[in-house]
Amino acid sequence: MKSVFASLLTIGLLLSLQANAQSKINASSWPTQPIRIIVTFTPGGAPDVLARVLAQSWQESLGVPVLVENRPGFGGNIGADMVAKSDPDGYTLLIGTVGIHAINGALYEKMSYDPIKDFTPISFLASTPNVLIVNKHLGVNNLHELIELAKSKPNQLTFGSSGVGTSLHMSGELFKEIAGIEIRHIPYKGRAQSLPDLVSGRISMLFDNLSSSLPLIKAGEVQALGVTTLKRSLAAPDIPTLAEQGLHGFEATSWFSLMAPANLPNLVQKRLNALTRQTLNNPQIHNRLLEGGLEPAPSSPKELAKLIQSEANKWSRVVHQSGAKVE
């Protein structure tokens, strides 16, 4: 019996060493095949923009196809689950969001993946303020008038977001709590559906990434009442913050990261981090993203991991206080 056990142990060790050796070979020669970047929302939003910026830059420097795939639904859970269950080889990546990694774990009763343990952090990508925009025919000119209108019509006004559990949804929940109002949440799969409904008046207001809605704001198609960060955005300095208009302490930022499945080989992690820094630190790309309302800030994997844990602690408290839950 001992001989059989020893033989099995030896075989197991050999297989483990072989797998580790294969991993190192793959890591040192990476990439040799197409790379997929999964975006958990519809095309056109900030996550999609960042994915396509990375894809174009990497494809030129790596010499392999870099594809962007949009997998929207359930606050990012569909696409995130797919990446979490993919092979940790660097060929399937995720544009992580504050919703996926810091909010969903507290919001959803059941999760098919662990938002932190099932991923390898690569780099922080960029952040953008969320902005409260309203239908221009709603009859309000500022935040104070909107709050008064909402108080006079409890649960009659509606706010949209790009999905349950996103920072845009939680911005609305935080707005309700601090302003002391009752407005109904209307979730969408992405901005491609929510913005037309706001313009047409099907919903009263919308929390959106500033980078996504800035063109409509500048064109006068919608009215911006305030950004959700403590400081005004460099891309739209004329839009006041919600905090400076009386919602003291109101702060909610949408941020985006590059993630891979857990147990990604260290060499591939380092290579992806270097590629990301090279792309986002390119002056032309950096300035173009800034002009569009995104603030690039590539980081180390350790810095990103620390941020995710801090944000998860913060938003779990907000979810608990709001009473929001999704089965």
**Co-location of 99 and 166 in the same domain:** no
The answer to whether position 40 is within a domain reads yes
| Distances in whole angstroms, Cα of residue 276 to Cα of each of 11, 92, 127, 271, 297 | 40, 15, 15, 9, 10
80: helix, strand or coil: helix
Please tell me the distance from the alpha carbon of residue 129 to that of residue 277, in angstroms, as a whole number: 22
**Co-location of 235 and 272 in the same domain:** no
Q: Residue 285: which CATH number?
A: 3.40.190.150
**Co-location of 206 and 139 in the same domain:** yes
The answer to whether position 28 is within a domain reads no
Residue 102, judged by CB atoms within 10 A of its CB (0-12, 13-18, 19+), counts as buried
User: Which among 177, 230, 228 is positioned nearest to 206, based on CA atoms?
Assistant: 228
Q: What is the pLDDT of residue 307?
A: 96
User: Which among 101, 327, 292, 74 is positioned nearest to 190, based on CA atoms?
Assistant: 74
The answer to whether position 2 is within a domain reads no
**Co-location of 238 and 314 in the same domain:** no
Q: What is the pLDDT of residue 11?
A: 44
Residues 6+ positions from 241 with CB-CB distance below 8 Å: 226, 227, 228, 229, 230, 231, 232, 250
**Co-location of 70 and 116 in the same domain:** yes
The answer to whether position 8 is within a domain reads no
**Co-location of 213 and 151 in the same domain:** yes
**Co-location of 183 and 279 in the same domain:** no
Q: What is the pLDDT of residue 327?
A: 65
Q: What is the pLDDT of residue 8?
A: 44
Q: Residue 193: which CATH number?
A: 3.40.190.10
**Residue 122: enclosing H or E segment and its boundaries?**
strand 119-135
User: Which among 198, 192, 183, 82 is positioned nearest to 137, based on CA atoms?
Assistant: 198
What range defines the domain where residue 301 resides? 33-128+253-322
Q: What is the pLDDT of residue 27?
A: 65
For residue 224 the two structure tokens come to 């911006």
Residue 297, judged by CB atoms within 10 A of its CB (0-12, 13-18, 19+), counts as middle
The answer to whether position 5 is within a domain reads no
Give me the residues paired with residue 326 across strands. Answer: 108
**Co-location of 123 and 190 in the same domain:** no
The answer to whether position 308 is within a domain reads yes
User: Which among 265, 274, 16 is positioned nearest to 120, based on CA atoms?
Assistant: 265
Residue 58, judged by CB atoms within 10 A of its CB (0-12, 13-18, 19+), counts as buried
The answer to whether position 209 is within a domain reads yes
Contacts 24+ apart (CB under 8 A), 22-25: 23/265, 24/265, 24/267
**Co-location of 166 and 195 in the same domain:** yes
Backbone conformation region of residue 258, classed left if phi is above 0, alpha if psi is from -120 to 50, else beta: beta
**Co-location of 163 and 260 in the same domain:** no
Instruction: Please say which residue of 217, 245, 273 terminates a domain.
Output: 245
The answer to whether position 185 is within a domain reads yes
Q: How many domains does the structure of the chain reveal?
A: 2
Instruction: Please say which residue of 227, 245, 263 terminates a domain.
Output: 245
Q: What is the pLDDT of residue 3?
A: 47
**Co-location of 193 and 160 in the same domain:** yes
Q: Which residues of the chain have pLDDT under 70?
A: 1-27, 327
Instruction: Please say which residue of 218, 245, 272 terminates a domain.
Output: 245
Please tell me the distance from the alpha carbon of residue 161 to that of residue 208, in angstroms, as a whole number: 7
pLDDT digits (tens, 9 = 90+) for 288-320: 999 888 999 999 999 999 999 999 998 888 888
